[in-house]
Structure 1
Amino acid sequence: MYSYIFGERKVLPQNPKPWRINLLLEISRSAWKEVSTAVEASLCKDAEYLTLKDLFDNTIPLVLDIYAVLFRSGDFEAYLESCFRVWTIFLKFSRRNYTKAPLMFLSDIFYWELNQHPILGTIKAELPKFSDSTVEIFHSFLRRGTQKHTDADQLIKYGHYINLLRLDSSGFRENFAHTSSWAKYEYSVQDITQLTKKSACFLLQCFSDIYTRVFHHNLLISLPLQTYPSSSKRKHEENFGTFSLTAMNMPEAQLWHLPLGFSPIEVLSCGHTYHKFCYNNNGSKCLHCLAFLQNGIDEHVQSLQESLLNPDKKKNKKKKTQAKESEENNPCDNDDEIEPINYRTSSLEKALREFQSQ
């Protein structure tokens, strides 16, 4: 997408600066709003489509809003839910340490709630004040001014020096304001609008390619069959309602015997589809995803407990060292200049017409 928007010769660095990441996420979300209606009317349960739809509907809005909107506004319940959603993303991509930190936070919250601890009321009332941004900024300055071979005494001295600058109004804050890459975010409203339209054209092209591949290379998705109560258990439950299918020799057919088209359906954000009756009967839960999340919680809680009980045991040290060396060898984004915008007549309307005519 980056090369499509700014030109084929422009390559996104492997470690882009925060303002560049934020720019791409914002225009991606805005572009999806422009084309989502047309795209959703053309595709359904293709694997590629579901993956991209989940990215634009769930992941990107979550990343953009969890701190900037939910945390800063003090919406504790929405923030708590978003923390669990973030954990599900880490679980899907097997991010080792990241799968434990959200569970620790959620465990603390549930423990305080169970024991009616007063700290929970304080957190709910003053959520924005529980921010570690000051610590993160301090740590960034510390890393910027030190090297790998810096010993503990030198780190302590430099930390005291940074703290001294913090007390000086012309030191720490001015230094941060003028050197931060966020201060170089200079795109105008007109620039953002143009970038959004070009990004929307890129999305339509991506989904057009998916639409074409659906008829040539379908990705098979294998799911376990949904289980239903046995006949002995049904006798003690309320009557679900039966009807006769004479041609099928089924005098007492149930709702789930019919194709989805014969009943209102519920398409969940995870991509699974249920009859509305079955979905409600399951407690408004996706049984496929529920088992996956429950197993993930059990596995990572057990791993966390083992690591806490054995703090001196170093696991997978070699893998972590290799991953760290790989990250250090990746080219960084040292360019703070914004990319030029080519103000050509937007072809978004034309791209929409071509996509809808497929």
Structure 2
Amino acid sequence: MSQNVPTYVPTVPRTTLVTSIPSIRQYIERGHMIPLVADWPGQIHLRTAILRYLPLAQTPKPWHINLLLEISRSAWQEISKAVKEKFGSLYKDAEYLALKDLLDNSIPLVLDIYAVFFRSGDYNTYLESCFHVWTLFFRFSRKNYTKAPVMFLSDIFYWESTNHPILEVIKAELPKLSDATVEIFHSFLRRSTQKHTEAKQIINHGRFINQLHLDGNRFKEKFAHTSTWAAYEYSARDISNLTKKCACFLLHCFSEIYIRVFHHKSPLIFSSPIINSSSKKKGKAKEKSEESISLTAMKMPEAHLSHLSLGFNTLHKPDPFRYCDLTNCPVFFPINPNPIRILACGHSYHESCYASNDFKCLYCLAFLQDRVDKHVQSLLESLRDLNKKKKEKIKE
């Protein structure tokens, strides 16, 4: 009997060997444990198959980005009601509002501004979306993208003030004012040329592509066989499974926020501003003061205010301990209950206070007006400098 049954002592070193592997130890510390009978290193292979994530490419293909956004929106539509009911309508934690704003507003905006609003000819919604896109570019300091929307909106408002007939053409024929053909042509041209290609060769390539465009069948055939959108790797069943996995991932993120605030009683607190004077532009030191914040549930240990809702970028940030962010709020909540409204920017107001402000968030409105003025002035200065350089070249 003793010869057939292995003793406990030789088993201990083997168990220690398995748990000494960093990836296995981290897997166990997370609370995961799978009993498995396998020869070494079968335990490692199983853990790798279950836990390891595939790295996202640095420059993912357009269809891959679109797939991730669509899956995120579909997953949020399945769980949003349950999440909002769990947190309640008066929850103002910065990380919760940031993740909720991303799923409620930013992702749908990116997906719908062209595919739905523009292509359907919904002029008013498309115009409003252009301003929302500008606020995203502005929050993330995308210098090369903040000027174009301002120029477009400036033209629209000017045509409205002068009753220019082109405005009626834009409203009536919005889907036809697309540069898709130009972008496709440019993509083909870049794909068939290199950095060292001479100008004459580029012209010849352009003529060849234009000839394909005149021959509709050959052009469509070339686009279908060479486009990155043609190589779609996922079936409807795969997308359904990915949506469920994304929903589980989002639920895990919201669960971490809920546990941090309601169980650990640890609301999100902003750290002191960090001053960065290392960056230089045109030989001049450029100082940048920005507050850093840790968004652990969103896997962003060193996030910035730009990653939060718009209200957290203003001087008057939303206060999680106040029902109404209005400075001179006349309503005392415990005595005179008044419905509360939390806006997408993160600020909250009593309905009476919100109505007295003409249904606007005055803090964010003043903040955006100030930034629009600064960007317009910067754009005008750039245009003046460009005009000055052209005049100097003419004189030379």
**TM category, shorter:** 0.7 to 0.9
1:212 maps to amino acid: I
- SS at 1:110's partner residue? helix
- SS at 2:358's partner residue? coil
Q: Distance in 2 between matches of 1:11 and 1:80?
A: 37
Residues 238-253 of structure 1: pairs in structure 2 closer than 5 A = none
The aligned counterpart of 1:190 is: 237
The aligned counterpart of 2:308 is: none
The aligned counterpart of 1:11 is: 55
Residues 157-176 of structure 1: pairs in structure 2 closer than 5 A = 157-176=204-223
Note the C-alpha offset of 1:168.
2.4
Name the count of aligned residue pairs.
286
Q: Distance in 1 between matches of 2:347 and 2:154?
A: 29
The aligned counterpart of 2:25 is: none
Gaps of 5+ in 2: 1-48, 271-311, 317-324, 390-396
The aligned counterpart of 1:41 is: 85
Match of residue 247, structure 2, among 200, 215, 219: 200
- SS at 2:216's partner residue? coil
The aligned counterpart of 1:82 is: 129
Match of residue 267, structure 2, among 205, 218, 222: 218
Structure 1 or 2, whichever has the larger Rg, is 2
CA RMSD of aligned residues (A): 2.4
Q: Distance in 2 between matches of 1:35 and 1:219?
A: 24
Match of residue 179, structure 1, among 207, 226, 230: 226
- SS at 1:148's partner residue? coil
Q: 1:123 to 1:25 in 2, by over 3 A?
A: same
Note the C-alpha offset of 1:186.
4.4
Note the C-alpha offset of 1:307.
1.1
- SS at 2:331's partner residue? helix
Match of residue 22, structure 1, among 66, 78, 101: 66
Q: 1:261 to 1:157 in 2, by over 3 A?
A: farther
Q: Retained in 2: the 8 A contact 1:260–1:275? A: no
Q: 1:6 to 1:153 in 2, by over 3 A?
A: farther
- SS at 1:41's partner residue? helix
Match of residue 176, structure 2, among 125, 129, 138: 129
Match of residue 377, structure 2, among 302, 305, 329: 302
Q: Distance in 1 between matches of 2:225 and 2:335?
A: 59
Note the C-alpha offset of 1:218.
2.3
Percent identical residues: 64
Q: Retained in 2: the 8 A contact 1:71–1:79? A: yes
Q: Distance in 2 between matches of 1:81 and 1:262?
A: 34
The aligned counterpart of 1:269 is: 344
Q: Retained in 1: the 8 A contact 2:326–2:353? A: no
TM-score of the aligned structures, taking structure 2 as reference length: 0.68
Q: Does 1:154 align with 2:201?
A: yes
Note the C-alpha offset of 1:39.
1.3
Q: Distance in 2 between matches of 1:185 and 1:47?
A: 37
Q: Which moved further from structure 2: 301-310 or 256-265?
A: 256-265
4+ runs deviating over 3 angstroms: 225-228, 257-261
Structure number with the bigger relative contact order (C-alpha 8 A, sep ≥ 6) is: 1
Note the C-alpha offset of 1:191.
2.1
- SS at 2:230's partner residue? helix
Q: Distance in 2 between matches of 1:11 and 1:259?
A: 51
Q: Distance in 1 between matches of 2:379 and 2:335?
A: 42
Q: Does 1:286 align with 2:361?
A: yes
Note the C-alpha offset of 1:269.
1.2
Q: Retained in 2: the 8 A contact 1:266–1:276? A: yes
Could you report, residue by residue, the CA deviation over 1:183-233 in whole angstroms, capped at 9, with x for unpaired residues? Answer: 1224332222221111100100111112222235422368537445xxxxx
2:169 maps to amino acid: T
Match of residue 144, structure 1, among 191, 215, 227: 191
Q: Distance in 2 between matches of 1:108 and 1:32?
A: 37
Q: Retained in 1: the 8 A contact 2:326–2:349? A: no
